[in-house]
Amino acid sequence: MSDPTRLNDPGSTGPESLRRLIQAGRSEVPDRERLRSLAGRLGFGVGSLPASAGAAKGAALLGSVGVKMGAVALIALAGAGALAEVHAARAPQVVVAAAPKAQPAPATASRLPPGPPIEEATERPGDVVPAGPSAAPAPPVAPRLIARSSPAKATGNELPVVSPTMEPSPSSPVDTEFSLLEQAQRTLAADPRRSLDLTERDARLYPSGALAQEREVIAIQALLGLGRTDEARARAARFSQVFAGSAYAPRIAQLLDSSASTHNP
Amino acid sequence: MGRFFHKATVAGATHGTLADGPRLLWRGALASSDPDRTAAPTAAGLFRDYGAFAWRVLRRLGVAERDVDDLCQEVFVTVHRRIASFEQRSSPRTWIYGICVRTASEYRRKVVHRREVLAHEWLDAQVDPCQETEAGLREARAVLDRILDCLDADKRAVFVLYEIEEVSMAEVAIAVGCPLQTAYSRLHGARREVEAALHRLQAARNAT
């Protein structure tokens, strides 16, 4: 079955007034400042913006264009903490550094002030782009905006609390919750000890962080990598208690099973 | 926020529906540490390519101007959370549209009382929506949105994606999660209702 003629198509027999309404609807796209603000709220870097406002409009009207994909950091800051993703591709990296959580949140609503001007400069490998106010800790955000899993309650099943042997350094732009875990993930295969250290550092800096579950998965993997199977199993057991129903549960079970079959072929 | 996660395929395993609502499925924690497995689209890249689309489709799906940025943010947080499970069986645009549809649907349910208030504004449309000025365009969009408000969420989504976003019907069906034939049926129903609403609006305007 072929698609019917669209009302906006020249051959349409629909009302002309409706066609013009549809065209008006198609003509509405966010301007560059709005996209920039949105990108800032999401913690996206400069690469997440079209090259120009015209490009944004063109993309919305005509379709997307292929753009080279660099490695990107995403830090979606919400009331409970940060969500983040960095693609560990070998492409150049632009890391959007989140401001420290200790900063007071703006008193105003969920719309954060725009960040510093985002230059349309070429991104260089390893660049760190201070996210500035736009990536500062989010003001209270309506729960509907970014729903989060509830932080672990003090039930006696808390996940490991690490002694503060390393002082938090919130001024360091790389010590975002995400960046710590991203490093932990990257070093997991080659240096599980280092990976475990990083998860411990993350646990100390962000005990109720938004990525607590991710931290635990990495830590369990690291423990398995170090041959500390019993500790990994104990940690997995605590995980299943604290984060009942987690989407990571099958992954953890798989990790433990793989470890068991490796050690007990 | 939407409780509309379906299945997340992770490292070869398939998870069931997430009963505890949205949950970040972080690629790094889910996937192996093999860096080659990170070559999939990024949330930031999808925002760059489709952010404006998403913003616009949210507007046409009934998200108020004052709320659209928040909803667009919500969409891309969802994109980020679910990107690990995006299997690219549809285009990214279709996938994101699907998220927009569900996000907007939930939003509309929450603000139904406000929409009832807005319905009283129906007869207030006095400006010729065919004006070519920016003000005319704004008014035309307002009229379009009032007309679209007459549709139920299912028909509205199909109409918006097909007629305004010009997505193929096959992709529309994927985005809204219904059989293709159902999508056609919704489109035809939506067209009838839209034209009827337009006639009512024009009649009301002519009568004043």
Q: pLDDT by residue (tens digit) across A22-36?
A: 999 998 888 888 888
Q: Is B49 exposed, middle or buried (0-12, 13-18, 19+ CB in 10 A)?
A: buried
Mean local confidence (pLDDT), A196-208: 86
Number of structural domains in chain A:
2
Share of chain B above pLDDT 90, in %: 39
> Does residue A149 sit within a domain?
no
Answer with the one of A86, A110, A138 that is the final residue of a domain. A138
Per the CB < 8 Å rule, is A42 touching B76? yes
Mean pLDDT along residues A181-196: 84
Enumerate the domain spans of chain B: 1-120, 133-208
How confident is the model at residue B23, as a pLDDT? 35
B200 and chain A in contact, CB less than 8 A: no
pLDDT beyond 80 at B30 = no
Q: How far apart are CA B138 and CA A16, in angstroms?
A: 18
Q: Which residues of B touch A91 (CB under 8 A)?
A: none
Beta strands in A27-174 (DSSP E): 71-78, 81-86, 93-97, 127-130
Question: pLDDT tens digit string along A211-247?
Answer: 778 788 889 989 998 999 999 999 999 988 888 877 6
- pLDDT given at position A206: 80
Spatial separation of the C-alpha atoms in residues B152 and B140, rounded to whole Å: 21
Q: Band of the pLDDT at A254, cuts 50, 70, 90?
A: confident
pLDDT value for A245 = 76
Q: Is a pLDDT exceeding 90 seen at residue B98?
A: yes
CATH classification at residue A213? 1.25.40
Q: Is A195 exposed, middle or buried (0-12, 13-18, 19+ CB in 10 A)?
A: buried
For an interface test with A, the pick among B1, B10, B17, B33 (most A C-beta atoms closer than 10 Å) comes out as: B33
- Contact: A247, B33; criterion CB under 8 Å: no
Lowest pLDDT segment from A142-146, B16-20, B171-175: B16-20
Q: Name the band, by pLDDT with cuts 50, 70 and 90, for residue B110.
A: confident
Residues 135-174 (B) with a CB less than 8 A from some CB of A: 137, 140-141, 143-145, 147, 162-164, 166, 168-169
Q: Do A42 and B60 touch (CB under 8 A)?
A: no
Residue A257 in domain: yes
Q: At residue A209, does pLDDT exceed 50? A: yes
Predicted pLDDT at A66: 29
Residues comprising chain A, all counted = 265
Residue of A nearest to B106 (CA): A144
Residues 110 through 129 of chain A touching chain B, CB cutoff 8 Å = 110-111
Q: Is residue A195 part of a domain?
A: yes
Mean model confidence pLDDT for chain A:
60
Beta bridge partners of A253: none
Task: Please tell me whether residues A252 and A179 are part of one structural domain.
Answer: yes
Which among B26, B52, B130 is the nearest to A214, CB-wise? B26
The verdict on residue A21 lying in a domain is no
Which of A30-39, A49-58, A173-182, B52-61 is predicted most confidently? B52-61
Among A52-61, A217-226, B159-168, top mean pLDDT goes to: B159-168
Q: What is the pTM of this model?
A: 0.49
Q: 3-class DSSP state for residue A23?
A: helix
What CATH code is assigned to B133-208? 1.10.10.10
Structure tokens at A265: 């072929």
Measured CA to CA, the distance from residue B114 to residue A139 in angstroms comes to: 25
Lowest mean pLDDT among A104-118, A171-185, B137-151: A104-118
What DSSP assignment string belongs to chain B?
Answer: --------EETTEE----TT------HHHHS-S-GGGG-SPPHHHHHHHHHHHHHHHHHHTT--HHHHHHHHHHHHHHHHHHGGG---SS-HHHHHHHHHHHHHHHHHHHTHHHHHHHHTTGGG--S-TT--SHHHHHHHHHHHHHHHTTS-HHHHHHHIIIIIS---HHHHHHHHTS-HHHHHHHHHHHHHHHHHHHHHHHHHHHH-
DSSP letter at A243?
T
Identify the domain containing residue A221 by its residue range: 157-265
Domain match, A198 and A239 both: yes
Shared domain for A109 and A161, answered yes or no, is no
Q: How far is A183 from chain B (nearest CA, A)?
A: 10
pLDDT of residue A243: 83
Q: State what percent of residues in chain A have pLDDT above 90.
A: 11
Lowest mean pLDDT among A14-23, A73-82, A162-171, B23-32: A73-82
Domain spanning B1-120 has what CATH number?
1.10.1740.10
Which of A 216-235 lie inside 8 A of B, CB atoms?
A: 217-218
- Report how many Cβ contacts below 8 Å link chain A to chain B: 242
Handedness of CA B171, B93, B106, A33 (dihedral sign): negative
Confidence band for B54, pLDDT divided at 50, 70 and 90: very high
Closest partner residue to B42 among A37, A85, A146, by Cβ? A85
Whether the pLDDT of residue A188 is over 60: the answer is: yes
- Asked whether residue A132 falls in the same domain as residue A87, the answer is yes
Q: How confident is the model at residue A259 (pLDDT cuts 50, 70, 90)?
A: confident
More confident residue, B39 or B104: B104
Distance from C-alpha of B85 to C-alpha of B72, rounded to nearest angstrom: 20
Q: Do A137 and A77 form a contact (C-beta atoms < 8 A)?
A: yes
Same-domain pairing of A131 and A207: no
- B20 at the A interface (CB within 8 A)? yes
Region A104-117 average pLDDT: 32
Helix axes B43-60, B65-82, angle to 10 degrees: 140
What mean pLDDT is predicted for residues A67-71? 27
- The answer to whether the Cβ–Cβ distance between A60 and B56 falls below 8 Å is yes
Most confident range, picked from A168-177, A250-259, B16-25, B34-43 = A250-259
- Cβ contacts of B131 within 8 Å, gap of 6 or more: B137, B139, B140
Q: Output the pLDDT for position B7.
A: 30
For residue A106, pLDDT beyond 60: no
B22 contacts in chain A (CB < 8 Å): 147
